[in-house]
Amino acid sequence: MNLAQEAYSEIYPEHEENRTIKIAYSAKFKSFNANVKYTNSYILFNLSKDWLDFSEDLRKGLIHHLLIKMFPKRKHIRTFELDLYEKFIDNVGKYARVEHHDDELGESFDRINDKYFDGLMEKPNLKWGQKAFRKLGHYEYASNTVVISDIFRAEEEFLDYVMHHELLHKKHGSKTSLSGRVQHHTKEFRADEAKYEDKDAERKLTKFLRRKRARNIFGF
């Protein structure tokens, strides 16, 4: 019985599965990414090659996680390996290489780090994303990367506001409830978010985005 079959039997102990269950490792995935594909004849867990450097228990926890997403009725199940995986994912950024530092984003990080994190936060990867108006920024836990929409180039005021939000994701990570729901905006996160100095920042950002969209569409 291979690792994937063992993991399946632990989530579905009463079910006799006739499909082929396998794991494949790929260099095409970003760090620590994975997915599951299945048909009537097979279940295939595709994992980043980075997972080969970690224990079978941790990999099994990842497969448990994917199986519970595949079969939501099993979300009440908790295993040692699943707990291990979730704790690892909460801290996975510590294992990622830091090699992308855009100068403008780096200056924003330094300002926010000094002002709100006492200069104690380690600098993550900092990258510009696409020219997006909806997804203004995000923090990639697996690669320890803050990605900021390109619309904030040379817009220090709004860049810093979005940078602060994304660095709070780095600080607080995510938490998984007993029901299996992943929480990114916890009470602790919201409390820190409320400490941002400019209490009118959200309204100003909304106005900026409206104006920026109009310029993008109509060219004025």
Domain span holding position 137: 98-218
* Residue at a domain's end among 53, 69, 90: 90
Residues 211 and 120 placed together within one structural domain of the fold = yes
* Residue at a domain's end among 59, 90, 121: 90
* Residue at a domain's end among 90, 110, 130: 90
Cβ atoms within 10 Å of 158's Cβ, excluding its own: 19
The angle formed by the CA atoms of residues 185, 191 and 192, to the nearest 5 degrees, is: 90
Number of domains in the chain: 2
The model carries a pTM of: 0.65
CA nearest to 96, candidates 145, 147, 35, 28: 145
Residues 66 and 42 placed together within one structural domain of the fold = yes
**Residue 3 forms beta bridges with which residues?**
none
Residues 79 and 111 placed together within one structural domain of the fold = no
Residues 106 and 214 placed together within one structural domain of the fold = yes
CA nearest to 205, candidates 153, 167, 159, 148: 159
> Residue-wise pLDDT tens for the chain (220 aa)?
799 999 999 988 877 778 999 999 998 887 778 999 999 999 999 999 989 988 999 999 999 999 998 888 877 888 999 999 888 877 776 666 777 789 999 999 999 999 999 999 999 999 999 999 999 999 988 788 999 999 999 999 999 999 999 999 999 887 766 555 667 888 999 999 999 999 999 999 999 999 988 877 665 4
